[in-house]
Amino acid sequence: METDEPKWKVAVVKYDGTSNALRKAIQLCGGFEELKPDHKILLKPNILWGGTKKLPPFGVVTTSAVVGHLLELLRDQGCRDITIGEGAIPNKELGSSTYKGYEWSGIGKVAKRYGAKLVDFNSEPFEEVELEEVKVKISKWALESDFLINLPVLKAHRQTKVSLGMKNLKGCLAIESKKKFHKHDIAHLIALLNTKIKTSLTIIDGIYAMERGPDFLGTSYRTNLLIAGRDVFSCDIVGAEAMGIKMEEVDYLKEFSSITGRPLSLDAVEVKGENVKEIARPLKWRLSLDDIFHQAGIQGITVQHEETDLSCCSGCAVILSAFCGVFCKDNPGVALDGLEICLGGKTKAKKESKKVFLLGNCAISANKDLKDGIKIKGCPPPILDTVMSIVLKSLPKKRAAKILMSRMVKNIGIKLGVYDEAFPAFGVYKPPEFDRGHF
């Protein structure tokens, strides 16, 4: 599509293991043209999670390698007032917090090296902002910085199809506002949020890319790409193209295009560096949780696909992911009968299911009329209650008791720091292709 609009430059550069690649990307897109040494700079990586150290970070979180290179380049520009902010999924039971995320991703280490400040968007001050009729709280750090650098991961997402720069800004919201996004039209709200928070530079970290993200149920690949530009929408268009995902099927990009009147087209972007069509690595975004169970040889359990229900927020999604990991590890090959797990505020249990577990308050309220649904209460529900409830009510008594006992011992070990767990799928991430040195 030809357009008269001025084209934003987006650089696509191969990562060479040094800061030269990022320097080149920033030069190609004019990324530092408006940067001043006295600017209050905010870096917004995608950290998502901060729990179990064994969790492979590849494609899940922004690499500390890219953050470190960026801090070096900002220092070269004479910048001194640099803050890194994120609001990772907090979960006391699973030991996840933003600061744990900084530790796990290695970003805490590079921040210390370059004298950057770390903040937790989950607890820092907020400003209430109206996104049409929806009131949300946005971290003041994001609203008051002079130069916000958005650092998403090159990631396909099982709900929003992609999770790139525009979606990464959802991490600047207070927890309750994040939940609110899932109770409304999430794509529309992400688009509106990007009209309120001004991103000065977006750098998509594609050293690793993830399909069927956003968490460890997805699969990561080494892609060695950096995508950078001053316009977040243009960067996301190029990022979607780099993953072979049709931009016109990404609802939040469509919404932004419709709100702003800007064309949703690669032709409206001036791509510098690599030819994105030639280097694109097609990634899938759909994830069937039933397939995850089938891979472990588990039959007779179903979870309705999340793509049909955007009303499930990351609070319950992470509990479900943790449950899947644990249950598949503890019960390979087990045969169940007609079990269903429901989550989110819109999913209705299937009529043919024999036993339905309603995971979280949203699923309970969406299935009020279901007489014998098994309620796992909470917002989100505790993982312990989830595992206990499903194991006790789906496995023979003896086996359930054995599984729960060994799980209890493992959990004590994890809490004491003397045991950490790897899941079978993690075995695919082998060095040198998957390099922990990037985190």
Q: What is the dihedral of CA 173, 178, 180, 184, to 10 degrees?
A: 100
If the CB atoms of residues 300 and 378 are measured against ligand SF4, the closer one turns out to be 378
Question: What is the nearest approach in angstroms of ligand SF4 to the Cβ of residue 346?
Answer: 10
Counting contacts by CB under 6 A, is residue 320 touching ligand SF4? no
Distance in Å, CB of 206 to ligand SF4, minimum: 29
What are the DSSP calls for 247-275, one per residue?
Answer: GGG-HHHHHHHHHH----SGGGEEEEES-
* Residue number, 10 or 312, with CB nearest to ligand SF4: 312
Cα 168–Cα 316–Cα 352 angle in degrees, nearest 5: 125
The reply on whether position 379 binds ligand SF4 by CB under 6 A is yes
The nearer residue to ligand SF4, 11 or 316, going by C-beta atoms, is: 316
Nearest C-alpha neighbor of 86 from the set 141, 144, 163? 141
Nearest distance, CB of residue 341 and ligand SF4, angstroms: 12
Q: How many residues in the shown chain lie near ligand SF4 by CB under 6 A?
A: 11
- Interacting stretch for ligand SF4, rule CB under 6 A, among 41-49, 104-112, 153-161, 357-365? 357-365
Which region, judged by CB under 6 A, interacts with ligand SF4, from 22-30, 69-77, 231-239, 358-366?
A: 358-366
Residue 377 within binding range of ligand SF4, rule CB under 6 A = no
179 sits near ligand SF4 (criterion: CB under 6 A): yes
By the rule CB under 6 A, 239 interacts with ligand SF4: no
Stretch that binds ligand SF4, among 143-151, 163-171, 310-318, 321-329 (CB under 6 A): 310-318
Cα→Cα distances 313→10, 344, 368, Å: 31, 7, 20
Give DSSP secondary structure letters for 100-139.
HHHHHHSHHHHHHHHT-EEEETTTS-EEEEEETTEEEEEE
Helix (H) or strand (E) holding 148: strand 147-151
The residue from 316, 341, 356, 395 that contacts ligand SF4 (CB under 6 A) is 316
Cβ-contact 245, 283 below 8 angstroms:
yes
3-state SS, residue 177 = helix
Q: Which of 11, 13, 74, 312 binds ligand SF4 (CB under 6 A)?
A: 312
CB under 6 A: which stretch of 21-29, 88-96, 225-233, 307-315 binds ligand SF4?
307-315
Cα–Cα distance measured from residue 412 to residue 384, given in angstroms and rounded to the nearest whole number = 12
Q: How far is the CB of 392 from ligand SF4 (least distance, A)?
A: 21
DSSP assignment, residue 93? T
| Residue 40 near residue 144, CB atoms below 8 Å | yes
- Three-point CA angle 226, 280, 199, nearest 5°: 40
- Show contacts with ligand SF4 in window 109-168 (CB under 6 A): none
Question: What is the rounded CA–CA span in Å between residue 53 and residue 261?
Answer: 44
Q: Min. distance of Cβ 318 from ligand SF4 in angstroms?
A: 9
State yes or no: residue 380 binds ligand SF4 (CB under 6 A).
yes
From 39-47, 137-145, 360-368, 399-407, span contacting ligand SF4 (CB under 6 A): 360-368
Examine residue 315 and tell whether it contacts ligand SF4 (CB under 6 A). yes
**58 versus 323: smaller Cβ distance to ligand SF4:** 323
- DSSP-derived 3-state class of residue 332: coil
Binding site for ligand SF4 (CB under 6 A): 179, 312-313, 315-316, 344, 360-362, 379-380
